[in-house]
Amino acid sequence: MMNLSQLANDVGEVGAVCVRGGGTRWDVGGAAGDVQVVMAPTGIDSFDPAEMTVVVGAGTTLSELADALAARGQEVALDGPPGATIGGALMVGRSPLRRGRLGEVADVLLQADCVGADGQVFVAGGPTVKNVSGYDLCRLLVGSLGTLAVVGRVILRTRPMPEDSAWMSGEVPLKVVLQSVYRPATVLWDGRQTTVRVEGHGADVNNEVDLLGGLGLERVDQPVLPRERDRWSGFLPSGGVLEVGAGVVHQLERPSPPAVAAGVRVLGDRMREAFDPRRRFNPGRDPHRVAA
């Protein structure tokens, strides 16, 4: 079993701290600032496909985890750039592109063993796939940019990989495509082209591919999306791609900071104050600045 005492030691009881994963999305929500950097443990503790859960150090890279899971036919609802870590993906809190099938990032974290601002280790959530024992700290931690606690070891929900999949794209109205496919993994729209990923049982995927082909869509490679993200506001900027149902626009421009309702900000600030009254964790970052 992975021990968090080293991490707790590193975090200590005083001084500003920031946890570093792969550093692939280091600028999300503000600059880390010149503070002490700690690293979460790495490595896979245990994985049992029959439980559909994996116990893993938050510092482990997504690709290492993906390889280990794929060997047993499973995967996890996290994605990120090459080199990204599990902890980083959870803290940035973006749902995977294939969210229609894999699920949301909010639902992936079952348990998190953390170090709090007082340097004490605490456990959020529980090890089982279903759990309503106490408050849902896990969902609070996802997307918190490391401002509430340093996450060291996590238990994640895994899912079986689909047998087959296909990306299809064509100049077909979005609504037509949506009505033709059952639970698509991803639907993208760039104002002209509708791109969809279908996945599942081989024969079902073939049928859907045929059906979509009949509508005028063609098989394509996974599309490369613009790097920046903004909230969907009903307006698609030039070069932008809407991730349908996710409320996200992938675009070239860096988005302006989102508007946050006063009440939500007050509550959010109170949350941060409750967990980290001395603002030790990631003082330069603020989840309220993340647009999407």
Partner 1 sequence: MESAERCEPAVGVIRSGILPEVNSTKRVDQDWRSTVRKRIDGIGLGWIRGKTAVIGDPLERDLVEALGRERVVTGSGARSLYSRDGSVTRGGSAGIVCFPETTDDVAACVTVAVSHGRAFVARGAGTGLSGGAVPCDEPVMVVTTRMNSIYEVDLDRRIAWVGPGVVNLDLSRHLSGTGLHFAPDPSSQQACTIGGNVANNSGGPHCLLYGVTSAHVLAIEVVLPDGEVVLLGAEEGRSPGYDLRGAFVGGEGTLGIATRICVRLTEDPPEVATLLLDFDQIEGAADMVSAVIASGIVPAALEIMDKRVIEAVEPFVEAGYPLDAAAVLIVELDGLPDGVADAIERIKAIGLDHGARTVRVAKDDEERTRIWKGRKNAFGAIAVIKPDYYLNDTVIPRTRLAEVLMRIYEVVEERQLMVMNVFHAGDGNLHPLIVFDAREPGVMERVLEAGEEIVRISVEAGGVLSGEHGIGLEKKRFMHMQFSPADLEAQDQLRRAFDVRGLANPAKVLPTGASCGHVTNLERAPKGTWV
Interacting positions 122-181 with partner 1 (CB under 8 A): 122-124, 126-137, 139-140, 142-144, 148-149, 159-161, 175, 178
- CB closer to partner 1, 27 vs 83: 27
**Alpha-carbon span 76 to 47, nearest angstrom:** 12
**Alpha-carbon span 103 to 101, nearest angstrom:** 6
Q: What is the CA radius of gyration of the chain?
A: 20
- CB closer to partner 1, 34 vs 262: 262
Please list every residue from 86 through 125 that binds partner 1, using CB under 8 A.
Answer: 93-95, 103-104, 106-107, 114, 116, 120-124
The one among 23, 43, 49, 237 contacting partner 1 by CB under 8 A: 49
Shortest Cβ 62–partner 1 spacing (Å): 19
Shortest Cβ 145–partner 1 spacing (Å): 9
Closest by Cα among 161, 58, 61 to 111: 58
Q: Residue count at the site for partner 1 (CB under 8 A)?
A: 82
The one among 62, 88, 248, 283 contacting partner 1 by CB under 8 A: 248
Q: Is 211 in the site for partner 1 (CB under 8 A)?
A: no
Shortest Cβ 255–partner 1 spacing (Å): 11
Please list every residue from 66 through 85 that binds partner 1, using CB under 8 A.
Answer: 73-74
Instruction: Give the interface segment with partner 1, choosing from 9-17, 37-45, 50-58, 80-88 (CB under 8 A).
Output: 50-58
The one among 5, 6, 33, 48 contacting partner 1 by CB under 8 A: 48
Please list every residue from 256 through 275 that binds partner 1, using CB under 8 A.
Answer: 258-261, 263-268, 270-275
Dump the DSSP string for the chain.
----HHHHHHH-SSS-EEE-SS-TTTTTTS---S-EEE----SEEEEETTTTEEEEETTSBHHHHHHHHHTTTEEES---STT-BHHHHHHHTPPPTTHHHH--GGGTEEEEEEE-TTS-EEEEE-SSSS--SS--HHHHHTTSTTSS-EEEEEEEEEEEPPSEEEEEEES--HHHHHHHSSS-SEEEE-SS-EEEEEEESHHHHHHHHHHHHHHT-EEEPPPPPPSEEEE--S---TT-EEETTTTEEEESSPPPPPP--HHHHHHHHHHHHHH-TT--B-TT--GGG---
- CB closer to partner 1, 39 vs 114: 114
- CB closer to partner 1, 36 vs 131: 131
Please list every residue from 22 through 41 that binds partner 1, using CB under 8 A.
Answer: none
Please list every residue from 217 through 236 that binds partner 1, using CB under 8 A.
Answer: 231-232
The one among 1, 182, 210, 256 contacting partner 1 by CB under 8 A: 182
Phi, psi of 102 (to 5 degrees): -75, -25
Strands 36-38 and 17-19: parallel
- CB closer to partner 1, 39 vs 229: 229
- CB closer to partner 1, 33 vs 202: 202
